[in-house]
Structure 1
Amino acid sequence: MKLDADPTAKFATRDFKATRILYKHTRFESPYNTYLHRGLPPGPISMASITSIDAVLNSEDHNFYYMCVDPENLGYHLFAASITEHNKNARKYHRWLDSQRNKK
């Protein structure tokens, strides 16, 4: 199946400053773009840090299915167990993105 994973589209285009994945990202031809190609990319899209590996090996039990950038703590995420809660977090993030665009 196609994964349609935003990070793979961002990696494929090398547009690492992108804050939103746009149609142009999802249509960019690359074997790493999971919007265009089924299955996993041919290789890793980044190198995991020791902190990330430790988090996986010592993970917490939880019921979260969704994550979204936390605009009040950039570099961190808000997690949600339901799509309703996730959509609330996503709206909060989108409002923050819009406010940043208006500051330019």
Structure 2
Amino acid sequence: METLNKSQIEAALAARLPSYRITCTLHADGTLSAMLSSPETDHFAITGIVRAHYNGEQAIARLANEILREMVLSRQGLKNSRLHTPPDHSDSVKGLDR
């Protein structure tokens, strides 16, 4: 099966991820990078996608699902890191005043 070109990949991903503007870059080594941008200034980039692994419509659907999964995992990681507050060092600062 023939490898999809840039515009075909962008159109196929945009159809499956309609709330995002998709911009792809094809690289000489056969990989693909995709930048997803939403109206709420939410951006997500994924690089190193091996184009040969995603031939045809079913493979593009799988790629879209993998991208969504990575976005969810990334957001969960960001959310978890924000929930961890830095330790309170007020005791050590108070100890210096003694």
TM range (shorter): 0.3 to 0.5
Higher relative contact order (CA 8 A, sep 6+): 2
**Bigger Rg over Cα:** 2
More helix by share: 2
| Richer in strand (by share) | 2
TM-score (norm 1): 0.32
